[in-house]
Amino acid sequence: MLLIQKMLRGYFPLQVFTFLLFFSTSSLNANEIEFQERASEIILNSLQTEPKKSFLRKAYKELLFSPVWMREKSLSKAAVELFDYITQDETLNKHGKLYKDALVLRRMAEDVYAKNGSIYDKISLEFKITQLYKGYIDYAYFGSINWGAFQARIANLKVNDVSTEWVLHRPDVYPAKMLVQAAFGTSMKKMLDAVQPTAYHYKALQNVLAKYLKLREEGGWEPVYLSKKLTPGKHDRGVYSLRERLRATGDYVSCNQSEEEDRYDKCLQEAVKRFQKRNGLKADAVVGPVTLKVLNIPLEDRITTIRLNLDRLKWLNERNSKRHVIINIPDFQLYFEEDGKLIQTMRVVTGKPNHPTPIFSDTVEFIVLNPYWNIPKSIIQKEMIPKLLRNPNAMARQGIEIRAGWGKDAPLVSGGSVNWAQYRYSKNVPYRFAQVPGYRNALGKVKFLFPNKFSVYMHDTPSKHLFKRDKRAFSHGCIRLQKPRELLRTFSTFNDNLDFEKAQKTLKGKTKTYINLKQKVPIDVVYLTAWVDYDGNLQFRNDVYGYDAMQLKSFRKW
């Protein structure tokens, strides 16, 4: 005991050491105490050659160099719960190293105790189980995306004049601290359950993954072959394979109108519509080349997409607010939650692939009625100056003022009075371009502000026709709203300083009006190509910015 005390005092104050030592040994018998002391000495000596930043060294320093998994006569409760948790995880690859390691280490531990193995055998296993634990934490709670490699890839897009960001929020999981809690008797299972993500229907997507993995074990689905485009009522031998394909994913449910023959009957049409809706396709029940291509995406690819999006969810901002706005870029849709329930949704237009909307979190703080559009420098140089070089009156025709500076009283400048060619590629443009309020304004009549370094916000638009498109990546990065006034009305229901009827009258004019919201709302711009919706249905969308492909280039396999 004296030897261990001397060694450990170099790492911990005496008061902390005495307190922890008392509680770690008070419920143990003499033989177990002797085992703990000898184990601590071996662990401390063994870790001297470990890199200072290694997980083993960090974890056991916090554990006072005491074993957490191995006891004198049997595995600890924490070890049993860890092995059970890993082997019962339905999302884990049963043919992968992590799952196999859990089985092997459990058998090895059982053998060590059955053969009355040495303390050195037990400490060797102690370290291996800790490494297994860290591996499982990395898999289940931090995920398989190499975020460093991905961030480097999107940074490289700047070479082609494409600039964006994906802001990360580290999962609230601290493996070493959890080990200390386990050593003091906290249930490992309860801790692992508690740190699982809960937002964005994470558990539901996990359950879907388990179903798809089971489907793979059962043989998966066969491709659909059609002789031509399939329209309602037509006959085709491919109808049989189409029906079975949709039965596999639960889209097809037999009904009274089902003939189960080669005619494309009403029951199968409804199944196709369900499938089309879940995949962001036009739900017209026509199985043309696009629908057929999506139907024939391999099951393995769908499993990979689900895994990828589960890992994205782990790094999103987990909100605990009453209200929450979510913009999902691949879905081109806004969702407004209240107490976790969907109260409003609408179509949105997001950034083009060469002007992508960044992935980040913020808070809606202000609403602007009849906004000016202060045009960003990049758009001035790429779009406005070339127009002015062709036609000096181009800005006036669009209702865009040019002012000599950003001051409140900066004088107006005519388009023909400046040599614009000198600013086409310069670092600074000493002029402010602002489109005046009105129905022609690119921001429409309403703007929702969440101040951020990207200068991204939500706004109205005069280009209403774009909302009829299924794919709506047309902006320079900001988020255009299909129903901005309806969103304005929603904000008015919980902000007593926002009178909707009064705002409607203001919108009939051109007076710019700021409203500072008393009840601000968190907003998250996310990128999900697979998720479970509010009705419990699995959804898939196209990889509009190519982020799936980038992240899968360095996606870790377990």
Residues serving a catalytic function are: 459, 478
Give the whole-angstrom CA distance, residue 231 versus residue 337.
38
Instruction: Give 178-221 as a 3 state SS string.
Output: HHHHHHCCCCHHHHHHHCCCCHHHHHHHHHHHHHHHHHHHCCCC
Give the whole-angstrom CA distance, residue 81 versus residue 68.
12
The vertex-420 CA angle with 419 and 426, nearest 5°, equals 115
**134, two tokens:** 């860290």
Q: Residue 212: which of 242, 253, 248, 245 has the closest Cα? A: 248
Q: Three-state DSSP class for 358?
A: coil
**237, two tokens:** 């031998």
Tokens 């072959």 -> residue: 225
What residue type is 268 in one-letter code? L
Rounded-to-5 percentages of helix, strand, coil across the chain: 45, 15, 40
**198, two tokens:** 């809960």
Contacts of 490 (CB under 8 A, 6+ apart): 336, 343, 344
Q: Residue 490: which of 377, 336, 387 has the closest Cα? A: 336
Give the whole-angstrom CA distance, residue 45 versus residue 41.
6
- Greatest CA span in the chain, whole angstroms? 94
The single-letter DSSP state of residue 544 is T
Give the whole-angstrom CA distance, residue 246 versus residue 264.
13
